[in-house]
Each structure stands twice: as C-alpha cells, then as structure tokens.
Structure 1
C-alpha cells in the first residue's frame, strides 16, 4: 500500500519506521531538517510531491493543534479514493470534519507516547480504533496495531473522549498538581523519585497536547472528583481521625484491586 505520513515528529517517524518494511511510505514535513534520519522512505517537503505519489492512505501525525489544518492543506492533492486518518488523542470536532470532506476516513489513538513507552516491547500498551471509521481503514490499523502486540479497543468518537478523560486526564492532572508544589531540594524516597520521573516525562510532552487532553469536554468532572477526595483527605488529616483514615485507605485499596 502507498502510505503518506504527515509530520516527522516522534509518532510520525515511529510509524514510518514500522510501515516502511512492508509498504511504500512517504513522509511529509515542511521542515526538511526533520526528515534527515528516516530510511527506506520517500521524503517530501512540497505538496505537489503528494499529488505525484498518489497515496492510498494518509496518516496525519502532526501536532494536535494543527491536525485539521494539515488535512486542509493536503486534501487538494489526494486521490478521491484515498483514506484519510488521524491518531489524535482528543477527537472533539474531528468526526464533523471528516464527514464534511466526503472522503473515507479512519480515526485511531495509539495510547503510548515515544516519551514513555519502550518501543521494542509494546505488549503492555493499548490502541483505540474509532467504530465509525471506514471498514477497510479499521482492518488496516487492526493489523498494524496487532503486529505491534498492542491491546486493541474499539470505541465511538464520544466514548473515546470520555475514556481519555478518565485514563489520561486524571493522571495528568494529579501529576501536574504534584509538580506544582515542588521546590529545588533533594528528597529521598523511592515513591518520590518515581513520581518525579513521571512528572518530568509528562512535562517533556508538547504543551498543546497536554492542554487539549485537559480541555477534553469530559475532563472537568474527573478533576472535580479529585478535588472532592482531596477535600475529604484534608479533613481527615486535620481531624487526625484514625478511623476515617482507615476507612479511606480501605476504599482506595478496593478501587485498585
């Protein structure tokens, strides 16, 4: 299959490396410096090159902020039968855009970032495929993600964003609160170090990506739950109420069984 990958960032170059073994792959980026370290792949910086390539599938890997803008710029150069796809972590507005193009589409979300994941062993990682997607597009990504040993889930657009609010927004918000009260000092303890490593990894991600995940329409209610539990915990601490603390810990342990 002739596949065009948009954006030579972390995920774009990773998917290019994976796909170029069995497919004819082109990687497009307006910055030629970002194309220096790809192999067995056509490198493109001009839109006219896309027209000549005639891709059968486009995988949009640009920063979330520019996902739709990137589609807008390449659509005039794509064959009518081309399937367009995204890997965005927040799907708000994407379904309406796809339906407005009249083209076949497939939307997925590989739920691992090159910052955190061990890319040569992804068996503990997951991917979501959107149920409204084109049948052939879904089949392609099921094969791709299956070959990477990812756990595959299928959700609707709305179910995806609701799930992401739970699985990403809660840990992101908790980590940001942890990091926001840090001061420059040495602190012993394995738990502290692990939290700090997670915080550093999270804050190495793109600001707009973090912002969009936290601005997910479903995030507010999840963060509100965190605030409510923090309020309860603070009351227990202030009252030095051992019995309530034991009940609280029992409840927390049950939640993570």
Structure 2
C-alpha cells in the first residue's frame, strides 16, 4: 500500500518536530525548516525526508501541516497556496485561529480543503491519549470527516468550534494565565527572591504553583509574546487583569476587610465546582507525596527510574533521596536524577525491563531429592526468587548411583545474573536436596 504524503513546514523544531513521531509510522513524512543543516539532521535521526523548499513540499503533499511561529503563518500560507495539489488538505497548528482561517479563505483554491486546528499540548507531550485538539473549520468537506475520525481513533478529545470562539476561549486559557504567571515570576525577580531559599517554607500548593509558573516562563518567549499580541482579545484581557490587581491592591492598602471578603467570595463563586477543583489538586499533591514516600522507602534497594521525557530507564541501588534529587548507583557510576523528571518503576515493570534489556544466564542444576518431593512446589518456589525468569524439569534419574528412596532431578534455570543461580541451589538444599 502506498503511504499518503504528509508534509510539515517547520518540522525541525517545536510542535512540528513532535508531530513527526505521531505521523511517521502511518504516513510518508516530509519536513522543511529554516536551518537546512539542522533540518536534515532531524530528518535523518527520525527517519523521514527533508526538503529545502516550502513550495516543493506543498507540491507533493496530500496533507500539508503549517507549523511555524504565529507571526509567519499567514505569510507561509500565501507562499504555498498556489502550489497545493488538487484534492489535498492544508492544516495549521497555531494557537490563534482567526487570522490563519481568513488567509486560507482568501488564497486557497476551491480544489484544496483547509482545516485550522489547535493541538492544545506542547512539544514535551509524549502521548495523544486524552489530549485536546480544537478544529475550527468554516466548511466541512471529505477531509474533515477523515481528520475527525483519525483524531478520535487516537483517543484525543476533539472540540469543534468557530475560530472566533476559539480565540476568545484561548484568551482566558492562554493569554490571561500566561500574563498572570509571567507577572508573578517578574515580581519575584524584582523582589530579588532566591526561590531555593523558600524551599524550607514550601507548602504542596506553593510547590505546584511555582512549577506551573516555571513551566510557562520556560516556554519560548517569542511564542509567548505572539500568543499575547496576536490574539484579538488580548488587550481587553490584560487590561481587565490589571484592573483586578489594582482594585485588590487598593482594598488591602485601605484596610477594607469587608470589601476584600466580597471580592474573594465573588471570585470563588465564579470558579465553578470548587469541590472538583479541590479533589484534583488533592490528587496532584498526594501523587507528589506518594512518590517521595516510595522513593524514601526504597533507599538501599534496587530500583528502576524512568525519565518521563527521554524515556530512558536507569537501574541500580538507590543511595539517597535529597530534596529534589535521587542518587542512584549504577555499577561503579553514581547518577543524580531530578525527582520531578522521573518516575519509579513498579516491580513488574522493572522485572520486564530486565528481561528485555539484560543478558540472561541459563544453567542446568542437578539435585538429589527424596522421592516424596513435589516437583511443582519446587518450581513455584524458585519462580518467587528475584530475577528468576524460567525453570523447567529436563531430566529425572533413578539409576544405581542414587539410593532407593531418592531421585535425581535436573532443572534448567534461566536467571538475570550468575548470583541468582546460587540462590536457586540454596533453595534446593533448603528443600532437603543435595546438589550433584
């Protein structure tokens, strides 16, 4: 079967690069980028195709994804529109929708369908399950149905709305929250506060808040600025936020407790289902605390720690948990891993990882037992020993060298290390056996 061609303009960075991981197994993927050396490197590493020209990629693509900075999106749409294949689809993935939609309406021929979208997740997202994507099509053709079904089959939460409503909602979800978070981070900087000094005074809620603020502030500042400046609702949102801050400031400075309480109560009522909000935040706090408890209880034991972004798994003896860092000894090496970036593997996960990634040891062990021994009991006991992969009976012998009331059993045992073989022998002798 010939794979459909998916072109990603801006596929060497950010969300465009992330999209490669989702598309490359099902489609023939082509990407462009402004830095051709970097783009070719990304394409080689991810086993996709690199094309230097936006026009050439438009000419061969069945689906063309525009994934460039917001301020360049309309220019790129105009650049490639005349070269789109008849019957193809253009998609953009920017976080403002009114301007790209207007441009597509103006410049694309009737033979090309267009679908303005907004995947509401960032480049660090590793799975599509339960992620939100917004579709803001003004017309729904054949491609729309295919795209909707494709996204639904990926277990994504698909929202259908207009570009105008999308941009208003994102003025709350992005413009207001980013503006308030960056304002808070800027105030902390102006106060010359060293956040590391606040650690001894941190509450779980403060931890979550600082982490969320840091996540926003750490984003590409040019992208954050363009989200602010290119949303048509941005000015009204920021002005309203500033008015709210000034009102609250004046109320507190004037020591007007009654008015403060009224403002707080009105704001609380407008937050909606407070019970659910408390439940969700409790879950987040408990998850953090639970992870620390598990790590602390695992000190001195073998653990597997998975980096949640790279997917790399580190195994070894957990030596200590110090604040925000887990210290792991891997053989002769000691590694320090940020707890925020790892999760501890369940014992079953660690066991499976060892089987899949470590060299195994297989050895035959012969042992003389009483004829009354129950073979299945021995095998079940062996399988409960750490690092045992398999055990099977390969020989039963009751020849002249074996006393009449005894029998020699030979088991083939597969383990993860040579040391585990000795543990099996110790168990056999514990059952009254005698190793031959």
Q: State whether TM-score is above 0.5.
A: yes
Structure 2 partner of 1:105: 114
Q: Which has more radius of gyration?
A: 2
- Cα distance, 1:140 vs structure 2: 3.5
Partner in structure 2 of residue 226 of structure 1: 241
Please show how residues 164-203 of structure 1 align to structure 2 within 5 Å. Answer: 164-182=170-188, 183-185=192-194, 186-187=197-198, 188-190=201-203, 191-203=205-217
Q: 1:124-135 counterparts in 2 under 5 A?
A: 125-135=131-141
Does 2:58 match 1:43?
Answer: no
Equivalent residue, structure 1, for 2:219: 205
TM-superposed CA distance for 1:6, in Å, is 1.0
Matched, 1:89 2:102: no
The answer to whether the 8 A contact 2:117-2:136 is kept is yes
**Aligned with 1:21 (options 7, 11, 25):** 25
Alpha-carbon separation, structure 1, partners of 2:76 and 2:40: 17
Question: Aligned partners of 1:61, 1:71: CA distance in 2, in Å?
Answer: 11
| Alignment partner of 1:237 is 2:244 | no
Gaps of 5+ in 2: 274-436
**Matching residue of 2:358:** none
**Which stretch of structure 1 is more off in the superposition, 135-144 or 87-96?**
135-144
Which residue in the other structure is 2:38 paired with?
Answer: 33
Distance, in Å, in 2 between the alignment partners of 1:112 and 1:141 is 18
Distance 1:204 1:132 in 2: 34
CA contact (8 A) 2:55 2:80 kept: no
TM-score, normalization by structure 2: 0.53
TM-score normalised by the chain length of structure 1: 0.86
The CA deviation at 1:111 is 1.1
Whole-Å Cα distance in 1 between the matches of residues 102 and 54 of structure 2?
Answer: 25
Aligned to 2:329: none
8 Å Cα contact 2:78/2:103 also seen in 1: no
CA distance 1:30–1:114, shift in 2 (3 Å): closer
Report the secondary structure of 1:128's partner residue. Answer: strand
Change (3 A) 1:44 1:134: farther
Distance 1:121 1:132, change over 3 A: closer
Q: Are 2:117 and 1:114 aligned? A: no
Q: Structure 1 residues 77-86 or 156-165, which shifts more?
A: 77-86
Contact 1:106 1:130 in 2 (8 A): yes
Structure 2 distance, partners of 1:178, 1:127, is 29
User: RMSD of aligned C-alpha atoms?
Assistant: 2.4
Which structure is richer in relative contact order (CA contacts within 8 A, separation 6 or more)? 1
Offset of 1:130 from its aligned partner? 0.5
Taking a change above 3 Å as real, the CA distance of residues 121 and 131 of structure 1, as seen in their structure-2 partners, is closer
Whether 1:251 aligns to 2:243 is: no
C-alpha separation between the residues in 2 aligned to 1:248 and 1:30? 50
Counting matched residue pairs gives: 253
